[in-house]
Structure 1
Amino acid sequence: MKDIEKAVEQWLNDVVIGLNLCPFAAKPQRNKQIKIFVSSDTTENDLLETIYLQLKELDETPVSELETTLVVAPYLFKEFDDYNQFLDLVEGLVVQLGKSGVYQIASFHPNYCFYGTEPDDAENLTNRSPYPVFHLIREDSMEKVLKHYPDPEAIPERNIECVENLTAEQIKTLFPYLNKDQ
C-alpha cells in the first residue's frame, strides 16, 4: 500500500504540480492538506462505501486541515470503461447525499481517454494517473481560488498544449506506469 501511495504522490508532485496541470494543487500539497487514501476494496459496493466515508470525513474536517482527498482504487477498474461507468455511481452518491454544489469529483485513470479522442492522443495524459483515482474536491475552495486566477477557462487548452509538447523521454520519465504491461 505504501508503494501505491508513493506512486500517486510522485504523480501528484511531478505531473499535476510539476507540469502545473492543476495550478491550485501546489499550495494544499505544500501545506499537507491533501489526503491520499489508498483503498483496499475489491468490490464496487465496498469502494462506494469508502468514498462515502471519505466525503463524510471532508464534511467533518476543517478545510485548514484537509483541503481535498484522492481516493485511489488499485484493485478495481483495470479497464477505463468500467471506471467511467462507476464514476456515474460516485456522481450519483454526491447527489443522493445532497452534496451537489458542495463536492465535485475529478477523475484519473492509467488509460484515461477523453470522449472523441484516440487512446494515444497526448491530451489524455492530463488525466492519466498510476492507478484509478477519484479526486474529491470542495467546490467552495475551487470557487475561492478561481476568483483570483486569470482566465481559468483556458486551463484545459494550456494543459493539452503542455502535454503535447513533452518529448518521448519526458513522457517515459513522468508516466513510467504507461510503459508497463497493464
Structure 2
Amino acid sequence: MSEPLTPACAATRAWVEGFVVAHNVCPFARREFVSDSIRFVEVAANEWEPALEAMIEECRRLDLTPEIETTLIVLRPGLEDFDDYLDFLAVAEALLVEQGYEGTYQLASFHPDYCFEGAAEDDPGNFTNRSPWPMLHLLREAGLERALANYPDPEAIPERNIETMHRLGGERLDAELAALRGQ
C-alpha cells in the first residue's frame, strides 16, 4: 500500500519485485504488486507477545480493508535465529486458530536462513522461502483459492520453484539476498 516504508520494508518490497516477481516464485505476486494491494509493515519481534498482537491487528486490518490482499509482516529486530523463528511461527499459527481466523487467513513463512526439513542448509531450493528479514506473510484464503482455481497445475508450483532456484544457483541467490539487505 502507498505509505512511507521503513528501510526493512523497502528492502522487502524490493525483494518482492526483484526476486519473487522477477523469478516468478509466486505466480500470483505480480498482479498484487502491480495493483499495490500488498501491505508492508515492520514489527519488533524481540518480545513475542507484542509481535503476536500486531499480527492479530493486521488480521483485523485485513478484515476491514478489502483493497489489501495480503500483508508482509517484517519481524525485526528479533527472530534472527531460524529455530527461534520456527517456534514463533508455531505460536503464531496456533493464535490464528484461537482467534477464529483459521480458514480466513493463512501464514506463509520466510526467513533469511530458511531451511526445509531434510534439506542441506546450502541447498538452493531453500531460497524459495528465504527473504531479507524474518517475516510472516498473511494471505487471504479466499483470494488464494480464487488464484489457484484459475491456475493450471498449481501443485507443480513448489517443484518448479525449486528447479528455478537450482538453476540460478546458491552463490547467485546469496548475492541477490545480501544486496537486498544492503550487505
TM-score range, shorter chain: over 0.9
Partner of 1:160: 162
Q: Which runs of 5+ in 1 are unaligned?
A: none
Report the Cα offset of residue 171 of structure 1: 2.1
Distance 1:47 1:73 in 2: 8
Report the Cα offset of residue 68 of structure 1: 0.4
The answer as to 2:10 corresponding to 1:6 is yes
Amino acid in structure 2 at the alignment position of 1:9: R
Distance 1:89 1:177 in 2: 31
**Structure 1 contact 130–177 (Cα < 8 Å) conserved:** no
TM-score, normalised to structure 2, is 0.92
Report the Cα offset of residue 5 of structure 1: 1.3
Amino acid in structure 1 at the alignment position of 2:71: T
Report the Cα offset of residue 78 of structure 1: 1.2
Distance 2:119 2:170 in 1: 19
Describe the superposition over 1:96-151 as per-residue Cα deviations: whole angstroms up to 9, x where unpaired. 11111111100000000101111111110110001001000000000101111000
Secondary structure of 2:57's counterpart equals: helix
1:52–1:22 Cα change, 3 Å:
same
Partner of 2:126: 124
Partner of 1:101: 103
**Structure 1 contact 72–131 (Cα < 8 Å) conserved:** yes
Partner of 2:64: 60
Distance 2:168 2:56 in 1: 37
Distance 2:122 2:180 in 1: 11
Secondary structure of 1:126's counterpart equals: helix
- Which of the numbers 148, 151, 162 marks the counterpart of 1:149? 151
Report the Cα offset of residue 15 of structure 1: 1.0
- What pairs with 1:10-159 in structure 2 (closer than 5 Å)? 10-62=14-66, 65-159=67-161
Secondary structure of 1:145's counterpart equals: helix
Report the Cα offset of residue 170 of structure 1: 3.3
Amino acid in structure 2 at the alignment position of 1:160: I
TM-score, normalised to structure 1, is 0.92
**Structure 2 contact 123–170 (Cα < 8 Å) conserved:** no
Distance 1:179 1:67 in 2: 25
1:176–1:146 Cα change, 3 Å:
same
Amino acid in structure 2 at the alignment position of 1:29: F
Distance 2:25 2:48 in 1: 29
Amino acid in structure 1 at the alignment position of 2:120: E
Q: Which runs of 5+ in 2 are unaligned?
A: none
Instruction: Count the aligned residue pairs.
Output: 179
Identity of aligned residues (%): 41
